[in-house]
Amino acid sequence: MRCGKMAAPAAGTRGGVRRRCQRLLYWVPVLFISSILCWSYYAYVTQLCLLVCLIAYHLFFMLFVWSYWKTIFTLPMNPSKEFHLSYADKELLEREPRGETQQEIFRRAAKDLPIYTRTMSGAIRYCDRCQLVKPDRCHHCSVCDKCILKMDHHCPWVNNCVGFSNYKFFLLFLAYSLLYCLFIAATDLQYFIKFWTNGLPDTQAKFHIMFLFFAAAMFSVSLSSLFGYHCWLVSKNKSTLEAFRAPIFRHGTDKNGFSLGFSKNLRQVFGDEKKYWLLPVFTSLGDGCSFPTCLVNQDPEQVSTPVGLNSTTKNENHLFPPKTLRDSQSHLLTDTQSWTESSANTEKGKVVPKGMSNPGLTVENET
């Protein structure tokens, strides 16, 4: 018995050490990128030393480092407390077997939430690990072990989840790192040619010049494809996960369900104030928990965004609609009064027979 009692703490200790080692390993790609960046600064400023270009170089360098820092250290946003099950519901779930009682619990928890996406079987998306109803576009990250709002992907190069809170920073990081590499390659090209034609003096600097051009050109190719892909995602209002698996609504799959048109898609990520678009400061529209869609057919029993879950911006004029319309009819970013009137008319004319259940509210656990 004594040996059995000692075994459990020992196993827990080994598990804790393993998790700490994993966390340290996750920082290896970040350290690699940081070391390349530091070396490139040394090689360009001290070895190449093009005085005319140093002002522009430091501008790109500063924006690159700033956006990279913000992408790494901006914490991913998690669903708000309204999406979590109450303590009483959690206890009830533990006591009750899977069946109608559990479905009733989830049905009650989801009825006042602004959710329109479903699982492949048409069930409400529920995270069993976080014990919450998943907001639209929210997914559980196996690395972070949390549900991330508007999750795009978990990026090892920043050791962080890219989602609603830092997606703009990630885009700017790609943009400024690409500009940084292109600038170095362009200004270093003439000296790289001289290196191969023996036009440079035989010093240590010539090797820095050669490898600097190779590194800048190589990263420019990979970054240009990645940045172009994410620009396409922004124009279509998609995440990387949604590009691989289209979101599913009650009426079925719709790969363009969240697209509001190019201009509005762009503003949803970068915000309304164009003067902040190129700076790594948070200006994205919304709260990450609810998103407007371009769909016509929504759940007849799904209510509008509840009080406290409305999208908020600096001017707080972007309320998410209780009933979504096509882009040509959408006044999300221009007029909020029409949504208020539409909500009142919808609630006034809605009749739900007593005891009628919504087949779209059947529940399926997801992780």
Give catalytic residue positions: 155
What is the SS3 assignment for 366?
Answer: strand
Q: Rounded to 5 degrees, what angle do the CA atoms 45, 46, 51 make?
A: 50
Relative to beta strand 363-366, strand 124-127 is parallel
- DSSP state letters, 192-245: HHHHHTT-S-SSTHHHHHHHHHHHHHHHHHHHHHHHHHHHHHHHHT--HHHHHS
Which residues are bridge partners to 161 per DSSP? 154
Phi, psi angles (nearest 5°) of residue 221: -65, -50
Burial of 118: CB neighbours in 10 Å, binned 0-12, 13-18, 19+: buried
Provide the 10 A C-beta neighbour count for residue 253. 12
Q: Rounded to 5 degrees, what angle do the CA atoms 202, 208, 210 make?
A: 85
